[in-house]
Amino acid sequence: MFDTRPHQPLGDPQEHYWLVQRMAQANGTDLVLATDAGILTQEDWAGMVQRCRGCKWTDGCQRWLDRPEDALRDTPEDCVNRAHFAALQELLGE
């Protein structure tokens, strides 16, 4: 399925690196384990950050991540990496 939302200028790479990290933590995706297991390559990781950089939902993402939660949460539907997180979780058996 293709993302049909209009493109926007790419965001700051460092900001989006941390957004992807925080989203993984919020939804319980163990990126280190995925990398160590050979499931998440450097190219895959860079692609996730790049997709995040072009996402139009960045403000909503930051608000969602800033809501205090103790439990793991499902990745929001508006996250451009939702399917990637789900695939990693499935491959890791999480």
| 13-46 confidence digits (pLDDT tens) | 999 999 999 999 999 999 999 999 999 999 999 9
CA 31 from chain center: how many Å?
Answer: 10
Taking the CA atoms of 85, 5, 52 and 50 in sequence, report the sign of the dihedral they define.
positive
Q: Tell me whether residue 1 is in a domain.
A: no
Domain contains 8: no
21 belongs to a structural domain: yes
Q: Please give the model's pTM, rounded to 2 decimal places.
A: 0.86
pLDDT per residue as tens digits for the range 38-83: 999 999 999 999 999 999 898 999 999 998 888 899 999 999 999 9
Looking at the domain assignment, is residue 3 inside a domain? Answer: no
Q: Would you say the C-alpha torsion 37, 39, 40, 42 has a positive or negative sign?
A: positive
* Residue 10 near residue 54 (C-beta atoms within 8 A): yes
Residues of the domain holding 61: 13-92
